[in-house]
Chains A and B, each alone.
Chain A
Amino acid sequence: MNTSALPAALAEIVDDFQALTEPERLQLLLEFSRGLPELPERLKDHPELMEQVVECQTPLFLSIETEPHDGDTPDVVRLFFKAPAEAPTTRGFAGVLHEGLDGLSAQQILDVPDDMPELLGLTRAITPLRMRGMSAMLGRVKRKVAAAAPQQSPAPHS
């Protein structure tokens, strides 16, 4: 699989990871963990609006919001993640998904292949188990997006 099936921002992230050696990839993941934005005040005060991704090794909470757009432009989906500082790997994955998917349309997010995390080339360095946590995170984002936009459906598998 190549990155042509991915939205531009996500494809760029994958290319960045793939251009690096394994130790450098971990450093980049660490940078993503540092870059994960803080929650907006309205969500900070309302933890019940966040949903826990139970498949992850450490608590990760996520929430999505749909922002309507005028005219023919489809609505965009905003993603919100929260993970503790002592779980940098989980935060790093969340940072990748945030930078790669935030602001896209529901359909674009639903079209991201489920095995996208494997493209980051981290499996050997961080164990297959930890990688599955990231796949679970992507899966949860997609399920929430699908639930929020029932009129849209994932593209058929080719």
Chain B
Amino acid sequence: MSYPVEQNEKFAAYARPERLVSTEWLAGAIEAGALDGGELVVLESDEDVLLYETGHIPGAVKIDWHTDLNDEVTRDFVDGATFAAMAAAKGISRESSVFFYGDKSNWWATYALWVFTLFGHEDVRILDGGRDKWIAEGRPTTTETTVPTPGEYPVVERNDAPVRAFKEDVLAHFGKPLIDVRSPEEYTGQRTHMPAYPEEGAMRGGHIPTAASIPWGRAAAEDGTYRNRTELEALYLGEAGLKEGDDVVAYCRIGERSSHSWFALKYLLGFDTVRNYDGSWTEWGNAVRVPIVRGTERGTVPSAR
């Protein structure tokens, strides 16, 4: 970790306190000139592609999940060369500390952080509470687009296996815990898409057998910050029934909401093996002959075909 780590009581209770920063702490760091040398880069990752332009944290650089991180043709993430060029253009070097924040309780910020993790970028952190908290606190914003000094980023091959699950991995995972982070209506199969997202639908509704339903937003407090350790434990260890050392797969619809839960499981509760299944329901709910459970019951491990 190149940049100093914030110390506070809430973060100290988490498994990896160094993965979060508070708005207050970041504001102080920016005031002290932290963004001047390229050692620390702040990235804003939003769902709305124009939100950054309406005002952002001074010195923050925009990253767009669609145009910067997704491959334009294949349903996959960019390759090592594209990632290196993108990162360098945003002023990021391999040893830079990268802080992510964004709209919707950091939904897209955690997604971007997760993609950086596929490339093994070491020091990545989330601004607890994200964009909404920063603005609610009346902290400074600017509409001036940050023009970064290009960084130097090596071409690193993506290493998906530790944190990314594919459909085949999920089929082989049965018997171990799965977390479904979608809305209850999507989980039961009452809806085949999110209330406001009809185009990310699926042919079939329901959930992957045995998956526990823990909607992603329950890990966030009203101000968009992560809930404290005790609350997260009640959610994932209590309600979902996870046990220490479990190998966990989280999924949603395209893998963005589950990035938020993935971050909580991996860094705040400290599960070593947590993978995000980014194919998620838009793949599973359209795939041929995969097992599905409808209704509120988790269901049982399907017998092998």
Q: Which residues of A contact B (CB under 8 A)?
A: 26-27, 29-30, 33, 54-58, 85-90, 92, 124-130, 132, 136
Also in contact, A30 and B196, with CB within 8 A (given A89-B48, A125-B49): no
Q: Closest residue of chain B to A88, judged by CB?
A: B50
- Closest CB pairs A-B (n = 4): A88-B50, A127-B66, A126-B49, A132-B199
* 13 A-B contact pairs sorted by A residue (CB < 8 Å): A26-B49, A26-B53, A27-B53, A30-B50, A54-B195, A54-B196, A55-B198, A86-B51, A88-B54, A125-B49, A128-B199, A129-B199, A129-B200
Also in contact, A86 and B48, with CB within 8 A (given A30-B54, A127-B66): yes
A63 to B67: give the CA distance in the assembly, Å: 33
- Please tell me if the beta carbons of B50 and A89 are within 8 angstroms of each other in the complex: yes
- Please tell me if the beta carbons of A88 and B53 are within 8 angstroms of each other in the complex: yes
- Please tell me if the beta carbons of B54 and A55 are within 8 angstroms of each other in the complex: no
Given pairs A88-B50, A126-B49, A132-B198, 13 additional interface contacts (CB within 8 A): A26-B53, A30-B50, A30-B53, A54-B195, A55-B196, A57-B196, A58-B196, A86-B103, A89-B50, A90-B48, A124-B72, A129-B197, A136-B198
B47 at the interface (CB under 8 A from A): yes
Number of interface residues of B (CB under 8 A): 17
The 8 Å CB contact of A88, one of B48, B197, B198, B200, is B48
A85 to B51: give the CA distance in the assembly, Å: 9
The 8 Å CB contact of A58, one of B48, B53, B67, B200, is B48
Q: What A residues does B196 contact at CB under 8 A?
A: 54-58
Q: What A residues does B54 contact at CB under 8 A?
A: 30, 33, 85-86, 88
- Please tell me if the beta carbons of B67 and A125 are within 8 angstroms of each other in the complex: yes
A127 to B48: give the CA distance in the assembly, Å: 11
Q: Which residues of B contact A (CB under 8 A)?
A: 47-51, 53-54, 66-67, 72, 103, 195-200
Q: How many A-B residue pairs have CB under 8 A?
A: 55
Q: What B residues does A86 contact at CB under 8 A?
A: 48, 51, 54, 103
- Please tell me if the beta carbons of A57 and B50 are within 8 angstroms of each other in the complex: no
Q: What B residues does A26 contact at CB under 8 A?
A: 49-50, 53
Q: Closest residue of chain A to B198, judged by CB?
A: A55
Q: What A residues does B199 contact at CB under 8 A?
A: 128-129, 132
A136 to B197: give the CA distance in the assembly, Å: 11
Q: What A residues does B67 contact at CB under 8 A?
A: 124-125
A89 to B195: give the CA distance in the assembly, Å: 19
The 8 Å CB contact of B49, one of A58, A85, A130, is A130
Q: What A residues does B103 contact at CB under 8 A?
A: 86
A142 to B48: give the CA distance in the assembly, Å: 25
Taking the nearest CB of chain A, how far is it from the CB of B156, in angstroms?
26
A127 to B103: give the CA distance in the assembly, Å: 17
Q: Which of A86, A87, A89, A126 has the largest number of chain B CB atoms within 10 A?
A: A86
- Please tell me if the beta carbons of B50 and A33 are within 8 angstroms of each other in the complex: yes
Q: What A residues does B66 contact at CB under 8 A?
A: 126-127
Taking the nearest CB of chain B, how far is it from the CB of A20, in angstroms?
15
- Please tell me if the beta carbons of A88 and B51 are within 8 angstroms of each other in the complex: yes
Q: What B residues does A125 contact at CB under 8 A?
A: 49, 67
Taking the nearest CB of chain A, how far is it from the CB of B142, in angstroms?
15
Q: Closest residue of chain A to B53, judged by CB?
A: A30
Q: Closest residue of chain B to A85, judged by CB?
A: B54
Taking the nearest CB of chain B, how far is it from the CB of A154, in angstroms?
22
Taking the nearest CB of chain A, how far is it from the CB of B100, in angstroms?
18
A130 to B198: give the CA distance in the assembly, Å: 11
A120 to B198: give the CA distance in the assembly, Å: 22
A90 to B66: give the CA distance in the assembly, Å: 17
The 8 Å CB contact of A57, one of B47, B53, B72, is B47
